[in-house]
Amino acid sequence: DGLDIAPDSSGVWHIPPLASDPPMRVRAAELSHRVPTVGFAALEDERPGGVDAASLLPILAAEGVPASAIGALKRGEPLSLPSGRVLTAAEFVRPSTRRKLVVLGDLSAASDAMCELASDCDLLVHEATNAYLERDRERQPTASAESVEAAATLKGHSTPQMAGRLARRVRARNLALTHFSAMYSGAVDEASLLVMAEIESLARQECKLAGTAVFAARDLMSLTVAVDGRVTVDAGPDGDEPAA
């Protein structure tokens, strides 16, 4: 008795909210893979910006104006002071915010509709199944980054560079890499950690994000997107496998 949802004319599925859902909208769009798959974008409702009370309250106190007058600025109305000075919301009310999280399934490419949904997201979760690493130069002397990317694409998957390019295209602020091949160990020894760091570096070279904004996800890793869009990472217990 499930609900059938058809995409709109632009190829976007509008996911009906549940009563228990937080105030946000969830949309989905098609990805390129060997079987039908989609990516999801969750966009929360706009949060009103807070008031810069540290700057505003001393001004009100000096003019004998009660703090309750802040309400006018919160509503976007100008506030006239006894001295004749007029305060505006643009001066003392921070811009409104709304967080956007994008989680993509298995893919070798994202549709234009998905890229539009993902634009300016705070966090993009993107697979990076295969990679051509420094160690592969000796193990696979006839291979190259291009041949590994071609093979990954043929199977409907991505490399770190492909993830980085998409992150740059949609102007993602943070990129979490996931769905790694089983050839990459999840151990916490130095060699394994260096491999994952190299995978992160390959993506970072393409998306041009800061070092702390690109990371290889792990099972039980916890990501928190703050109201201002900053992402903090709790790596979880040691010894967990890379995210599959």
pLDDT in tens, 121-146: 999 999 999 999 999 888 888 999 99
For residue 240, is it within any domain? no
pLDDT value, residue 184: 85
230 and 168 together in one domain: yes
Do 126 and 20 reside in the same domain of the chain? yes
With respect to residue 192, please indicate whether it lies within any of the assigned structural domains.
yes
- Residue 3 placed within a domain: no
Integer CA distances (angstroms), 229 to 88, 99, 167, 222, 225, in order: 25, 6, 16, 15, 6
Q: Are residues 17 and 107 in the same domain?
A: yes
Q: What is the CATH number of the domain that holds 220?
A: 3.60.15.10
Q: Does the pLDDT value for residue 59 go beyond 60?
A: yes
DSSP letter for 47, please: B
- pLDDT band of residue 41 (cuts 50, 70, 90) is very high
Q: Are 18 and 138 found together in one domain?
A: yes
Domain that holds residue 211: 12-46+97-234
- The CB-based long-range contact list for 151-157 (8 Å cut-off, 24+ gap) reads 152/108, 153/108, 153/109, 155/34, 155/108, 155/129, 156/32, 156/33, 156/34, 156/35, 156/106, 156/107, 156/108, 157/33, 157/106, 157/107, 157/108, 157/127, 157/129, 157/130
| Residue 241 pLDDT exceeds 60 | no
- Whether 244 is covered by a domain: the verdict is no
Q: 126 with 167, same domain?
A: yes
Tell whether 71 and 189 lie within a shared domain.
no
Please report which confidence band the pLDDT of residue 30 belongs to, taking 50, 70 and 90 as the band edges. Answer: very high
For the chain, what is the domain count? Answer: 2
- More confident position, 211 or 177: 177
156/79 same-domain check: no
Residues 6 or more apart from 68 whose CB is under 8 A from it?
none
The residue with greater pLDDT, 125 or 236, is 125
Q: Are residues 150 and 72 in the same domain?
A: no
Note the pLDDT of residue 6: 94
pLDDT above 70 for 153: yes
Statement: residue 81 has pLDDT above 90: yes
Supply the pTM of this predicted model.
0.84
